[in-house]
Amino acid sequence: MAENVTPRVRVPKEAAAGEVITIKTLISHPMESGQRKDKEGNLIPRSIINRFTCTFNGETVIDVAMEPAISTNPYFEFQAKVPESGTFTFTWIDDDGSTYEDTKEIAVA
């Protein structure tokens, strides 16, 4: 079970209609690969975030299937089209079934 998982997302506050914006996301998570061993030589079981999605007003921007080779504190940078004012929803899905969510509003001037 991962502790202190904090998502951080950077989205501009406003955009022009149809503008393409850059989104940066970071979430603190150990992403235990399942390859590492502890001091006694026992394998530390895998515990990672296996999926990340970003939607805008319910429509998909990006959907990433993640494997243990994604680094600790997974970082993603990508681009989204903003057709109207609305809400970006970011969801991270953990191996243990928990989900972490963050939302950001954007206004079309």
Partner 1 sequence: MSFSRRQTLAIMAGSGLSVMLGGRMALATPTEELIANFTGGAEITGEGLTLTAPEIAENGNTVPVEVDAPGAESIILLATGNPNPDVGVFHFGPLAGAQMASTRIRLAGTQEVVAIAKMSDGSFARAAQEVKVTIGGCGG
Taking the C-alpha atoms of residue 109 and residue 51, their distance in angstroms, rounded to an integer, is 32
Q: Using an 8 Å Cβ cutoff, are 52 and 66 in contact?
A: yes
Token pair 């079981």 in the structure block, residue:
45
Nearer to partner 1, 61 or 108 (CB): 61
Question: How near is the Cβ of 54 to partner 1 at its closest, in Å?
Answer: 8
Which residues in this chain contact partner 1 in the complex, by CB under 8 A? Answer: 20-22, 33, 35-37, 55-56, 59-72, 74-81, 83
In angstroms, the CA 27 to CA 40 distance is: 30
In angstroms, give the least distance from the CB of 43 to partner 1: 10
Complex with partner 1: residue 9 or 62, whichever CB lies closer? 62
Q: How far is the CB of 98 from partner 1 (least distance, A)?
A: 19
CB 18 within 8 A of CB 63: no
